[in-house]
Amino acid sequence: MNEKVTFKVPLLPPSVNQMYKINYKTKQCYLDESVRTFKNQAIFFIPRFELKPQDKVILIFEYHGKFFNNDGTIKKKDVQNLDKCLCDIIFTKLGADDSCVWCLVASKFNDTQEFIKVTIIKI
């Protein structure tokens, strides 16, 4: 039987487009403050789940939030830009490499609350 874990993170990650900032004077690249804040907060909602180096997993991300502007147009929040930051923090917490991801399913749901429902399934 496949092992799985489902949990909820009560905030949305910043887009990968916001992830890194560059100081052109010092030629340094660094994580944006919004990313550090998200990682520091989100890590507490990720439960322990044992992954071995040979394990393969399916990730299911359900992003809930306000994805429409007041005029009914779609906000520019791509799910693939949200996935990177979330994957990084999940696999940091689990002490595993994200190369074990065999399949990733990500969906957006327009909602009044912002949260992410995450399911990890070993296959």
pLDDT digit string, tens, across residues 65-118: 999 999 999 987 777 778 888 998 999 999 999 999 999 999 999 999 999 999
Over residues 52-66, mean pLDDT: 94
Give all strands of the β-sheet with 4-9 in edge-to-edge order: 4-9, 115-122, 57-65, 101-110
Prediction pTM value? 0.84
Higher-confidence position of 64 and 29 = 64
Q: What is the pLDDT of residues 6-45, one digit of tens each?
A: 999 999 887 666 666 677 787 777 677 777 888 889 999 9
- Domains of the chain by range and CATH? 4-122 (3.30.1330.70)
